[in-house]
Amino acid sequence: MNATYEEQRAELDARVSVALAMGGEAKLAQRRAGGNLNARERIDQLLDPGSFSETGMLAVSVLPADRETSPADAKITGTGRIEGRRVAVVSNDMTVKGASSSAVNMRKIGRLKETATRNGMPLIFLGESSGSRVPDSLGAEAMAAAGQDPQQYCRRRETPWVSAVLGPCLGSSTWYTCLSDFVVMRKGAFLAVSSARVTSLAIGEAVDPEELGGWKLHAEQTGLVDMVVDSDAEALAAIRRFLSYLPSHAGERPPSQPAAEAIAPDGDKLLELVPSARSKTYDMRKVIAGIVDGGSFLNLKDRFGRAAVTGLARLNGESVGIVASNPMFKGGAMDPEACRKVTSFLVMCDSFNIPIVFLVDTPGFLVGIEGERKAAPAHIMNMIHAVQLCSVPKLSVIVRKSYGQAYINMGGGRNSDEVAAWTSADASFMDPQIGVSVLHGIKREDDPERFDRLKAELARDTSAYALAGAFGVQSVIAPQQTRAWLIDALATHRRERNGGIGEHEMRSWPTYI
């Protein structure tokens, strides 16, 4: 006998209730006790209120024995809005089979990826997973079923991808994190190929989970993480903020904020932040904050490759990407880690039509055995390759010094649309002090008077005015003029003929260099 519509609706409501209950009250209470949001609470905090539309809510495990215990098959997927703009979300539910990957939930993710790409939506992964589901993934039949999507892990940067590492991340949670444009990690979370237990069994020795995949490893050594936070709430807020600088897809300009709302910092403070004496150091991050719209600088990978600074900001309401050398670390000499950091940032900015601003104060590239062992020449070439493939507007400001190949890598010459130099700028193949020793074979302690005379001869043609005289820069400016010069130059180089959309030659560049 056919069920009535009322009976059918009652069954639907019952199934929805089961899905919304996730892994049950006991497991949800355990998460609350540990101070962790559950998968649905994370979505509610991330998105604009009431905007989430779930897809695949009634999906369950492909195995008959697990169908009653796998609501939504452990991964909650759907679309919603952030500040009114549509986004796609995958939220892993650890209360259901450890959010493990399965045939069904991989279909859910695959469909959502297609939806996000086709319709121009950022894709957000709220990562926490125990990896591949066992025993479902064991055996030849399971292997044959895997890998049926030959484009599963391709990144062509059609839309921004964002990942939050909010607990143990193994399997697909790790893979999608490594493919993302922005990664925020909560302290206490974990990201690795395999768990500490599996790794320990495989190599036959004890493994510290923090050393294997903790936040310090990925923020300071691997560079996989862009930002570290203390809580789920901070991570979700960071995602909202990051996306506010980016377009929804590669075919549009980044969103603007009203210029009238932009707070201009006091340019005179730059004179205090940057000592005129080159022997004194300073923090370039403070200089950046003294140029861009007040409170707009979002520092990325701040703990990694610290001789360089990368981040997003606004100038007169417009999104820009900042690439700067930082004399606070290694004197601003670029090492392989700094080059890697800058290269991946340039790829992201160019893929999503974000203009680049270089702020330069570097003695060149760090030389030494350690750098050569890390393939420094290859990283230097990767970086300049990325700079020269960038089709977005590029502006460069030489603050104090720019020497050697780093002059080119940091947007010197025709590698930027326009270059300005502060009145304090100095540009040459190398520091005149080193040049004297190389050319004449003497050190200052050998003959101070002769050394200083030879140094003055080498230094006389390295000034901002010498560079301007050779049209190596288009403007010489006082520090206080930096913001106004950048805003005007950005207005000039908006690429109006193509609507500000770049050529995106690096859209398929590897996500980890």
Buried residues in 61-86 as b, exposed as e (16+ CB within 10 A)? bbeeebeeebbbbbbbbbbbbbeebb
Predicted pLDDT at 444: 76
> Is residue 259 within 8 Å of residue 293, measured between CB atoms?
no
Q: Exposed, middle or buried, 138 (CB in 10 Å: 0-12/13-18/19+)?
A: exposed
* Pairing, β 85-92 against β 475-477: unpaired
- Residue of higher predicted confidence among 503 and 513: 503
* pLDDT score at 133: 78
Contacts for 259 with CB less than 8 Å, ≥ 6 apart: 316, 317
- What number of other Cβ atoms are within 10 A of residue 46's Cβ? 24
Matching residue, tokens 């050998």: 446
Q: Is the pLDDT of residue 135 over 80?
A: no
Higher pLDDT, 448 or 15: 15
When pLDDT is averaged across residues 116-124 and rounded to a whole number, the result is 98
- pLDDT value for 439: 65
Question: Which tokens hold the place of 450?
Answer: 């002769």
> Tens digit of pLDDT for each residue in 367-391?
888 889 999 999 999 999 999 999 9
DSSP assignments along 67-83, one per residue: GGG-GGGGEEEEEEEET
Q: What angle do CA 202, 205, 211 make, to 5 degrees?
A: 95
Q: Reduced to 3 states, what is the DSSP secondary structure of residue 126?
A: strand
Q: pLDDT at position 430, please?
A: 64
The identity of residue 503, as a single letter, is E
pLDDT value at 39 more than 70: yes
pLDDT for 321 equals 98
Q: Is the pLDDT of residue 232 over 80?
A: yes
Residue predicted with more confidence, 206 or 354: 354
d(CA 406, CA 285): 19
Confidence of residue 207 (pLDDT cuts 50, 70, 90): confident
How confident is the prediction for the chain on average, in pLDDT? 91
H or E segment and range at residue 272: helix 270-273
pLDDT in tens, 266-323: 999 999 999 988 778 999 999 999 999 999 999 999 999 999 999 999 999 999 999 9
Q: Rounded to whole angstroms, what are the CA distances from 34 to 167, 186, 232, 244, 372?
A: 12, 14, 12, 31, 45
pTM of the model: 0.93
Mean pLDDT of 175-184: 96
Judge residue 505's burial from the number of C-beta atoms within 10 Å of its C-beta, 0-12 exposed, 13-18 middle, 19 or more buried.
middle
Mean pLDDT, residues 75-82 taken together: 98
Would you state the pLDDT for residue 362?
93
